Structure 1
């Protein structure tokens, strides 16, 4: 009976240590989550794609305008 009580005490001690470690990990994750939520105010990376799409559209419009203007003939 004494041995069982000693084994249970050791198991409880191990489990208590594991709980303490897990609580520390939870706190780290909460801090990490809070930092991520602070970063959310920044513009998403999708805006970069929109800018490049706009540049491509501008280039296409410039090409169309160049095609519409008459080209000069060679020579004098």
Structure 2
């Protein structure tokens, strides 16, 4: 374990600290913990995720436009109401 050596501690000590912190010793942050689901290649997964991001960005644009319209309508009706 190179990290333990960098920290100047024994591998077992670092493992104990990780276990105490609830960190899985077999999963690496940002990495895959197993094979891709259903035999999906990394390129296919990337394409799927890019498509999903584009879909979410379009939804965000639509919601922002709707919010702006409702905000403008609310300002209009507040100005028109004379109670």
Task: Return the TM-score normalized by structure 2.
Answer: 0.48
Residues paired across the two proteins, number:
42
Specify every segment of 5 or more residues in structure 1 that has no aligned partner in the other structure, as ranges.
Answer: 44-76
Matched, 1:5 2:46: yes
Which protein has the bigger helix share? 1
Query: Could you tell me how far 1:40 is from its partner in structure 2?
Result: 1.6
Work out the CA distance in 1 between the residues paired with 2:64 and 2:55: 14
- The structure number with the bigger radius of gyration is 1
CA-based RMSD of the aligned residues comes to 0.9
Q: Which residue of 2 aligns with 1:18?
A: 59
Task: Return the TM-score normalized by structure 1.
Answer: 0.52
Q: Which residue of 1 aligns with 2:73?
A: 32
